[in-house]
Structure 1
C-alpha cells in the first residue's frame, strides 16, 4: 500500500506568495493520489482553527495554530517560556502540532514560503520521494560550542555537550510520522533547544536516519553532492551557497535545478537587508572600540 504524504507550505500570508505556493502544490499533487497539500502557520493572536483559502479558484486548507495550541503540548522545557516566541528555534512546533492534528500521514514535507527552486519542482520532489530516511534535510553537520544557539541545548541528564550533537537546516525537509513522534516524546521527556540542533540530535540518538540530500558537506552521499543545492565544503554550519541564511535575494539565482533560500518580497528584502547592514556595522564598531562619533574609546583607568 502506498504511503500517505502531505506537503505543508508554511506561510502567514498565502496571497503574497501565491505563485510559489501554487507551483509547489501542483508539483506535489502530481506525485500521486496519496499526496495532499495544506497551508500552515502560527499566529499568536489567533485561535487555533482550519480555514479555507482560495487562490486562483483553488481551495486549500489553512491550519492556523495559536497560543492555545502551544499550551497543549505540555513540554517542560521546549517552548515553555511565556510569552511564547516562534523565533529563535521553535518553528518546528508547527509541524509537531500538525502531526497531532492529522496523524494519518506516513510522511510530512515542509517548505517555508521563502524557499524557491530554479527548475521543475515536480522533478525535485519526485527524486526525493524515492529516497530512504527518517529525515531528509540540508546542511547536516556536527554541533560545536561556538554555534549561535548552542546555549539553548538542554537534556534530562544535563550532561549533553554541543560537540555531541548534530545540526540540520529545516526550511525544506521531509520527515516521517514516526520521527515526529520520537521528537515529541523526547521533548516531553525534557529535551530542549533550537530546532536546528534538536531534530538531528534526537533522531540520531534514537537510532534513526538523517539524510543530507545535497550540498557539499561532509555527510552528503557522492550521488547527492551539490545536486539539489550548492554550498561550501564543511563551512561550520554557516550555510553559505544557494540554500542558506546570509544572502537574502529577491529572485532565485540563474543556476538551474537548485534550491534557493531566502527569497523575499521586495519590501521585505529592503527591510531585512537594512537590518543586516546595521547589525554588521554595530558589530564592527564594537570590535574596533569606536564611539558613534567614530573616535576610539579611551582606555579605562585602573
Structure 2
C-alpha cells in the first residue's frame, strides 16, 4: 500500500475561503485513496482539539492549536517568547504540531489560504507528487546578513552566520515526516530563527534534500525552471513575481498554471495596501527628515 499523505489547508476562517479550499481538497483527493485533507489553524484563545467542519455538505477534520499546544513543544528558544505569536517566523510550528497530532503520514503538504493557482490544482499537485526531495518549496536562496530577519538566527554553538544559511518560502510546500522530525530535533537542541531561514538551513545541515519546484532562481533544476510560479532570478529573496509577499492581489493573474500569493478578499486587500502605503511614506519621510537634519548641521 502506498504511504499516506495529507494536505493541510492553513486558515483561521474556513467559510470565507470555502470555494478555494474545496477546490484544493477535491484536487488533492483525486491523487488516490491514501491522500487526505484537513484544515489547520492557530487560534490563541481556543482549545486545542480536532473539530469536524461541514462546508456545503463536505465534512473534514480541522486541527485547532492554541497556546497550550505550543507549550508542549518545549523548545528552549524557538517560539518560547510569551505571549506567543505566529508572526514573524513561527508559522512553521503549525506543521510540527500537526505532525505530532497526526503522525501516521509520510508526507505533509501545507498551503496557506491566500495561495491561488490559475489552473486545475490537480495538475500542480500531480506534477509534484512522487518527486524527490525532503522539502519541496519555492524561492530557495542563500542567506545573507542584511536579510530582514537574519538577526533572529540562533544555533547551539553560536557559530552559524547568516551567510552560512539558506532561505526558502513556505506558503505552499511538501515536507516528509523524516524532515519534520529533523527540524523538531534541531529546535529541541537550541536552533532557532525565522521559519524561512530555519527549514532549508536545518535540512541541508542534516544532509537532507531541499528542492525549489519552479521559478527562475539560481538553485532551480533545469526540469523545473519557469514552472509553477515566476519571479526575478537572484532578487535577494525579495520574492518578486507571481508568488511572493509584496504584490497583494484581489485575484490571480492571467498567466495560466501559475501559483499566486497573496490573494486577499477586498476588505483585507484595502487594509493591507493602506498599511503598506503608510509604511513606505514613513520610510521616505524618515529619510527626508534625516537629510534635512544633516543639511542644517
TM-score (norm 2): 0.98
Distance in 2 separating the partners of 1:16 and 1:53: 14
Partner of 2:174: 174
Partner of 1:287: 287
- Secondary structure at 1:9's aligned position in 2? strand
1:141-170 CA distances to partner (integer Å, 9 max, x unpaired)? 000000000000000000110000000000
Partner of 1:53: 53
Q: Does 1:205 find its partner at 2:205?
A: yes
Partner of 1:245: 245
Distance in 1 separating the partners of 2:183 and 2:294: 51
Partner of 1:268: 268
Partner of 1:44: 44
Within a 5 Å distance, the mapping from 1:73-88 to structure 2 comes to 73-88=73-88
Within a 5 Å distance, the mapping from 1:51-200 to structure 2 comes to 51-200=51-200
Q: Compute the displacement of 1:110 (Å).
A: 0.1
Runs (4+) of structure 1 moved beyond 4 Å?
Answer: 297-301
Distance in 1 separating the partners of 2:169 and 2:156: 24
Distance in 2 separating the partners of 1:142 and 1:300: 41
Partner of 1:214: 214
Distance in 1 separating the partners of 2:138 and 2:158: 28
Distance in 2 separating the partners of 1:41 and 1:297: 47
- Secondary structure at 2:72's aligned position in 1? coil
Q: Compute the displacement of 1:130 (Å).
A: 2.4
- Secondary structure at 1:171's aligned position in 2? strand
Distance in 2 separating the partners of 1:61 and 1:201: 32
Q: Which runs of 5+ in 1 are unaligned?
A: none
- Secondary structure at 2:197's aligned position in 1? helix
Partner of 2:20: 20
- Secondary structure at 2:125's aligned position in 1? helix
Q: Compute the displacement of 1:296 (Å).
A: 3.7
Distance in 2 separating the partners of 1:298 and 1:225: 47
Distance in 2 separating the partners of 1:10 and 1:133: 22
Distance in 1 separating the partners of 2:79 and 2:72: 11
- Secondary structure at 1:71's aligned position in 2? helix
Distance 1:177 1:280, change over 3 A: same
* Matched length: 297
1:241-264 CA distances to partner (integer Å, 9 max, x unpaired)? 000000000000000000000000
1:117-156 CA distances to partner (integer Å, 9 max, x unpaired)? 0001001000000211000000000000000000000000
Distance in 2 separating the partners of 1:237 and 1:189: 27
1:178-219 CA distances to partner (integer Å, 9 max, x unpaired)? 000000000000000000000000000000000000011000
